[in-house]
A = this chain, B = another copy of it.
């Protein structure tokens, strides 16, 4: 199974794609730039989705569903927004196909042209604020705390599985508030949920902070982000939360009557994470044998490979394991038994390593004689023998340890590849030679930011919340720094 996986060190991009295809997370769709999420990948996405969804609901958010199609005219209402999205929109222009009068197959019926073309949503601010205009009259109608799980489309020319595809799945939250302070609190609250899920569930350490104006969402007042380092030391924007201030309320003329009977524009936030997080899980934790999944989100946490030459031998192994398997299931551990016939144990080991299952049980006649089980950890490869009676008690502890260990490994890797620099030469050599996060002073000038990007391809990934700017100078201009920032090459 692991045959055909390029080594990480040899070609990171190919390794990434190989793992996704071999682990059956996803496949390429027939239309260029589209992707099929296969059952194993989708099950992983369901785990990730649930981790967010329950936290959104606990904090008072409700799910809803808004239309896929947006009138073309809506997109142009907010100036920055249109500039950000118009160049990559899928446009529906007709609503009927007919048999080709000149040959075989189908052609678009010219008589079915739409009066106004519709856009397949690249994001839903515009259609949602058109609805909020209908729903909001008074302060009593606020706040509105809505989220939706949906597909969106951005017509990308260069695509990559999970990271950049024409269509992707995501959640997009859209909230409406009576005051600027409430909107700001909401945007920060969501960022904290994003951080928590990334770190505690996906075992991905993230930096939290602000985007620069050049990197913020098209239409936002400001954008918060969680930013992670991938295994090739490049940065991935893993989630963003936008304070939209009154920008969309003004564009769509959404006002409310406040408690003092004054008419005011509504304040807003929007925020999203997407299936790109699956790509992050692959890149942060994967190795040359395939995926290594954090136990909390792994579709299967323990896989059992019974070893035996005949159906009877395999049957007796399964009998032998009946009690601990039952006990583990009762403790809520997701267990899978691979009792496929006609496939060697070695093949199965490779396959489940590729699929990143955290714990593997290998049990055969010797284990049965010794009343033990052989357990293999996917994170370290460590093989251990446990008394059978202890398995169901040990498994939760081991899973917790693996979760923690994957997080620590990723954090160590990130910290080892984060450099505080003072000179621009040093900056350039790190970005060019090893890549990684470069921490330095920035004068706050967009021209400085643009010049650095032009020369090095590195961008400001994040202005971290935690920073020390006193006495710092800009790495490029030498002027006093306005912020301490993190530069990196981004996906």
Give the B-binding residues of A (Cβ under 8 A): 27, 29-31, 34-39, 41-43, 45-46, 62-76, 82, 86-99, 104-106, 108, 112, 117-120, 127, 130-131, 134-135, 140, 146, 150-151, 153, 155, 166-167, 169, 342
**Do residues B46 and A63 form an inter-chain contact, with CB atoms below 8 A?**
yes
Are A39 and B68 in contact, with the CB atoms below 8 A?
Answer: no
Most buried by B among A34, A62, A97, A134: A97
Least Cβ–Cβ distance between A230 and chain B, in angstroms: 23
Asked if A69 and B166 sit within 8 Å, CB to CB, the answer is: yes
A63-B39, A86-B96, A91-B93 known; A29 vs B127 contact (CB < 8 Å): yes
Q: Which B residues lie within 8 Å of A30 (CB)? A: 67, 70-71, 74, 127, 130-131
A274 smallest CB distance to B (angstroms): 13
Q: How far is the CA of A26 from the CA of B475 in the complex (A)?
A: 54
B27 touches A131 (CB 8 A): yes
Given A39-B62, A108-B117, A127-B30, A90:B87 Cβ within 8 A:
no
Q: Given contacts A39-B146, A91-B108, are A29 and B66 in contact (CB under 8 A)?
A: yes
- Nearest to A134 among chain B residues (CB) is B27
Q: What's the minimum C-beta distance from A476 to chain B, rounded to whole angstroms? A: 33
Complex interface: chain B residues within 8 A of A167 (CB): 67-69
Secondary structure class of chain A's binding surface, majority of residues: mixed
Name the B residues within 8 Å of A134 (CB-CB). Answer: 27
Complex contact B43–A62 (CB within 8 A): yes
* Nearest CB in chain B to that of A29: its residue: B67
How many copies make up the complex? 2
Q: Which of B46, B89, B98, B104 contacts A96 (CB 8 A)?
A: B89
> Is B97's CB under 8 angstroms from A86's CB?
yes
Q: What is the distance, in angstroms, from A127's C-beta to the closest C-beta of chain B? A: 6
Out of B62, B63, B67, B104, name the residue touching A36 (CB < 8 Å). Answer: B67
Report how far A94 CA is from B114 CA in the complex, Å. 13
Q: For the complex, what is the distance from the CA of A120 to the CA of B37, rounded to whole Å?
A: 18
List the 7 shortest-distance A-B pairs measured between CB atoms, nearest first. A39-B62, A34-B67, A95-B155, A29-B67, A37-B65, A86-B97, A91-B94
Q: Are A89 and B95 in contact (CB under 8 A)?
A: yes
Q: A91-B92, A96-B89, A155-B96 are in contact. Are A73 and B105 (CB under 8 A)?
A: yes
Point out the residues of chain B lying under 8 angstroms from A35, CB to CB.
67
Q: In the assembly, what is the distance between CA of A233 and CA of B34, in Å?
A: 44
CA distance A67 to B37 in the complex (A): 9
Does B92 contact A90, Cβ atoms closer than 8 Å?
yes
Q: A172 to chain B: closest CB distance in Å?
A: 14
Q: Are A106 and B68 in contact, CB atoms less than 8 angstroms apart?
A: no
Q: Are A64 and B92 in contact (CB under 8 A)?
A: no
Pick the most buried of A43, A64, A82, A88: most chain B CB atoms within 10 A of its CB. Answer: A64
